[in-house]
Amino acid sequence: MPVKSNNGTFANKFARAGYNTIVKRNSIFLTTIFVSAFAAEMVFDSVSDRIWDNINKGRQWKDISAKYTTE
Amino acid sequence: MFRLSALSTRQAVQRLAVQARHQSTISTAAASSMTAKNVSMAATGVATVGAIAYMSMETVDANMAADGLHPPVYPWDHKKNLATFDHAAIRRGYQVYKEVCAACHSLDRIAWRNLIGVSHTEAEVKAMAEEFEYTDGPNDVGDMFQRPGKPSDYMPKPYANEEQARAGNAGAYPPDLSLMIKARHGGADYVFSLLTGYQDPPAGVEIREGLNFNPYFPGGAIGMARVLYDGLVEYEDGTPATTSQMAKDVTIFLSWAAEPEMDERKKMGMKALTMLALLTGLSVYLKRHKWAGLKTRKILYNPPAPKKH
């Protein structure tokens, strides 16, 4: 148990709840790690893609392709 | 002078070594000032040796006539750290290549399919490839046959081989342009300067019949004549086709041809640096977190009282 002292503060309660739901069972702990890594990568990629597209607005093919597709 | 400085360097280094051995026996203040003095002496010695070596080895060669005029550095947008190619310029540059350069220069390493999603749609690329005949085969009776091009075919060559190319260009061989931006000193700046740099030879410079004067070309006499003139091509997006506009567009197209992965590479670089910065911050925090307890700790040693006899 990492949280020994039970001083009843919010942070303490939060840490205790987190420990009990995530860390206690190894299966849940591992699943949490894998799922959160996957989710973090998705979020990081989509955010940095959006920043990239914003920096290069009007320069990339996807910005000008509409002019040449006449279907 | 060389020997003197080498000697002083060696002495300084030796003194440093001696210093290190006796560090514990010297009072701290004196030791640190001595060390600083020795380090600065050693640095001076190293710098002197380096400067002499540099001066004796460096030969300055500014033979503009033989090496070509150095091109000015142009502020290419796509050379910024976080900028992609301007794909509208790639499309215009392809048009210039196809209508002007392709008459003599091949583009061996670019296939039609490489243009899809970069400067043209798939339907456009298929239509463009079909305009050219390719030799394929052998068929089931062993004969080669002609067929219209497919997106997987590489760009058609203007000449079958180097000999034919030389024969058609008064002995000069038009080089392949696939990697030209990487293959020449100055890269994009050189190609742009070369295309826009044609002029009459200065007084006293004789240019042989069939060659042309260009100060950016090493030697000054280039087989290729000036090809870009205002209004030579008609851009479909309405951009005025001035000489410099066409030279800029075709240079950007060739920059893309030499480095098609640039956009993706820079994007990955941005992501990697962001991630590494986050991880650096995390490890600095963790280090401080783990060391805080140790660094703020004070260890006291109370020697036992001497035994009384």
Q: Give me the pLDDT at residue B53, please.
A: 75
Domain count, chain B: 2
Residue-by-residue pLDDT tens, chain B, 309 positions: 444 455 555 555 455 444 444 444 444 444 455 677 777 778 888 888 877 777 677 666 667 778 889 999 999 999 999 999 999 999 999 999 999 999 999 999 999 999 999 999 999 999 999 999 999 999 999 999 999 999 999 999 999 999 999 999 999 999 999 999 999 999 999 999 999 999 999 998 899 988 999 999 999 999 999 999 999 999 999 999 999 999 999 999 999 999 999 999 999 999 999 999 999 999 999 999 999 999 999 989 999 988 887
Nearest-CB residue to B121 (from A45, A60, A69)? A69
Q: How far apart are CA B19 and CA B31, in angstroms?
A: 8
Contact at CB, A48 and B124, closer than 8 angstroms: no
B256 alpha carbon, distance to own chain's centre: 13
Q: Give me the pLDDT at residue B64, please.
A: 74
Please report, for the domain that includes residue B98, its CATH number. Answer: 1.10.760.10
Claim to verify: residue B149 and residue B237 sit in the same structural domain: yes
What is the per-residue pLDDT across A15-39, written as a single tens digit (0 to 9) for each?
899 999 999 999 999 999 999 999 9
Handedness of CA B229, B183, B161, B108 (dihedral sign): negative
Is B118 an 8 Å CB contact of chain A? yes
Report the C-alpha dihedral over residues A51, A54, A58, A64, rounded to 10 degrees: 60
Claim to verify: residue B15 and residue B142 sit in the same structural domain: no
Contact at CB, A44 and B271, closer than 8 angstroms: yes
Q: Which residue numbers of A have CB closer than 8 Å to B's CBs? A: 44-45, 48-49, 51-52, 55-56, 59-61, 63-65, 67-69
Chain B residues in contact with A69 by the CB 8 A cut-off are 121
Claim to verify: residue B127 and residue B255 sit in the same structural domain: yes
Claim to verify: residue B126 and residue B190 sit in the same structural domain: yes
The minimum CA-CA distance between A6 and chain B, rounded to whole Å, is 22
Q: Give me the pLDDT at residue B241, please.
A: 96
Domain that holds residue B158: 64-260
Is B130 an 8 Å CB contact of chain A? no
DSSP assignment of chain A equals: ---------HHHHHHHHHIIIIISSHHHHHHHHHHHHHHHHHHHHHHHHHHHHHHTTTTSHHHHGGGT---
CATH 1.20.5.260 fits A10-67, yes or no: yes
The minimum CA-CA distance between B197 and chain A, rounded to whole Å, is 28
Contact at CB, A44 and B86, closer than 8 angstroms: no
Claim to verify: residue B47 and residue B70 sit in the same structural domain: no
Strand B221-222 to B133-136 pairing: unpaired
Claim to verify: residue B38 and residue B68 sit in the same structural domain: no
> What is the predicted ipTM?
0.81
Could you tell me the residue ranges of all domains in chain A? 10-67
Contact at CB, B271 and A48, closer than 8 angstroms: yes
pTM for the whole structure: 0.78
Domain boundary at B57, B75, B91, which?
A: B57
Nearest-CB residue to B270 (from A52, A59, A61)? A52
B221 in a domain, yes or no? yes
Claim to verify: residue B46 and residue B174 sit in the same structural domain: no
Q: Give me the pLDDT at residue B33, please.
A: 57
Which amino acid does the sequence have at B270? M
B305 in a domain, yes or no? no
